[in-house]
């Protein structure tokens, strides 16, 4: 059953694979990620966080059963990516997703 609260952030970067690898490796110290090709997923505080490597874009997806859990997933993924990508001025802007 899909989780009712979802959001995504498409972060433009010349190095999506590098940032995805760095984010998953760093968070993997505390979380258990599963990776299938360009998609890595982990349970984060009652929700699910997904990191997707695209062509010139790194997509973050967050899903949770409630708004508080969604905010936690967004914070964990977004704040770490922005810190790693500070020199490249990466900015994570979340957009609610409908129909999931």
Please state the domain count of the chain.
1
What's the pLDDT tens digit per position in 16-32? 999 999 999 999 999 99
CATH number of the domain within which 69 lies: 3.30.310.50
**Nearest to 63, CA basis, from 80, 77, 79:** 77
> For the chain, how far is it from start to end, CA to CA, in angstroms?
10
Query: Would you state the pLDDT for residue 3?
Result: 76
Q: How far is CA 99 from CA 3, 33, 40, 72, 96, in A?
A: 11, 25, 22, 21, 10
What's the pLDDT tens digit per position in 76-98? 999 999 999 999 999 999 999 87
Q: Residue 68's domain spans which residues?
A: 5-96
Question: pTM value?
Answer: 0.93
């Amino acid at each position: 059953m899909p989780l009712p609260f979802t959001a995504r952030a498409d972060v433009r970067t010349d190095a999506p694979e590098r940032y995805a690898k760095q984010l998953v490796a760093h968070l993997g110290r505390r979380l258990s990620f599963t990776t299938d090709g360009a998609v890595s997923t982990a349970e984060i505080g009652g929700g699910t966080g997904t990191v997707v490597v695209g062509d010139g874009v790194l997509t973050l997806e967050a899903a949770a059963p409630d708004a508080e859990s969604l905010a936690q997933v967004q914070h964990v993924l977004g704040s770490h990516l922005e810190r790693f990508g500070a020199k490249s001025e990466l900015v994570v802007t979340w957009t609610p997703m409908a129909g999931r």
